[in-house]
Chains A and B, each alone.
Chain A
Amino acid sequence: QVQLQESGPGLVKPSQTLSLTCTVSGGSISSSNYYWSWIRQPAGKGLEWIGRIYTSGGSNYNPSLKSRVTISVDTSNNQFSLKLSSVTAADTAIYYCARGFVGATHGFDYWGQGTLVTVSS
């Protein structure tokens, strides 16, 4: 059974960089059948796609966040990471990592439980 688990600081100061890691177990992050995404949910609001990375190295980001986001993958540790720079209170949210299909089909079939990140001084 594939499992994803987010980890990282729960509190980040304004203007600093938010850094989260997603550890994948029960399957290889190097599989060419999948890509790896970050999705967030601010309190009281809906889901927002942040971006994704393919293990080939390619990535796509939400245009509204693109200038501040970097997603990277560490195949040796079966992990992928999110960095969001210059954070503000608007970046306070539950952050989820998820696995997406590659190819002629699409969906996020496995998700982490989510981790709350609060931006506050």
Chain B
Amino acid sequence: QSALTQPRSVSGSPGQSVTISCTGTSSAFGGYNYVSWYQHHPGKAPKLMIYDVGKRPSGVPDRFSGSKSGNTASLTISGLQAEDEADYYCCSYAGSYTVFGGGTKLTVL
């Protein structure tokens, strides 16, 4: 059982916003703010969308944003587009180990 819990699925219509939560124990985050988020289209390599809770790598649209409050991290996607439909995983670096959430399937209606 993953130490980071994500909803199995979320959905939204084009143009809307959705938020994916990632709730963990304090040990899962290890007292660090090293939460990252990955977009995964089946058959492709996962893609880094957010790192260090809220930083965006170059090339990732600013429609993607991240935050963290207490033991819950969140990924918000605004202005949903069809190509955003994918699986999303949160990830926590907690010093001597790293853990992924169970993943959330985003459906764009």
Is A107 touching B102 in the complex (CB atoms < 8 A)?
no
A61 to B48 alpha-carbon distance, docked (Å) = 21
A-B contacts counted at CB < 8 A amount to 64
Total interface residues in chain A, CB < 8 Å: 24
User: A60-B96, A62-B97 given as contacts; is B46 within 8 A of A107 (CB)?
Assistant: no
Is B52 touching A107 in the complex (CB atoms < 8 A)?
yes
Is A47 touching B100 in the complex (CB atoms < 8 A)?
yes
State which of A48, A61, A96, A107 has its C-beta within 8 Å of the C-beta of B57: A107
In order of increasing CB-CB distance, the 6 nearest A-B pairs are A107-B51, A106-B34, A111-B45, A106-B93, A46-B103, A107-B36
From residue A97, how far is it (CB to closest CB) to chain B in Å?
A: 10
A48 to B91 alpha-carbon distance, docked (Å) = 10
Total interface residues in chain B, CB < 8 Å: 26
Is A49 touching B51 in the complex (CB atoms < 8 A)?
no
Is A60 touching B46 in the complex (CB atoms < 8 A)?
no
Type the 1/0 row for A87-117, where 1 means its CB is closer than 8 Å to any CB of B. 0000000001010110001111101111000
State which of A46, A61, A107, A111 has its C-beta within 8 Å of the C-beta of B100: A46
A24 to B51 alpha-carbon distance, docked (Å) = 22
State which of A52, A61, A111 has its C-beta within 8 Å of the C-beta of B46: A111
Interface residues in B30-74 by Cβ distance below 8 A to A read 32, 34, 36, 38, 40, 44-48, 51-52, 55, 57
Is A109 touching B57 in the complex (CB atoms < 8 A)?
yes
Asked if B101 CB lies within 8 Å of chain A CBs, one says yes
Is A109 touching B103 in the complex (CB atoms < 8 A)?
no
Interface residues in A50-94 by Cβ distance below 8 A to B read 52, 60-63
Type the 1/0 row for B80-96, where 1 means its CB is closer than 8 Å to any CB of A. 00000000010101001
Asked if A37 CB lies within 8 Å of chain B CBs, one says yes
A48 to B, closest residue via Cβ: B100
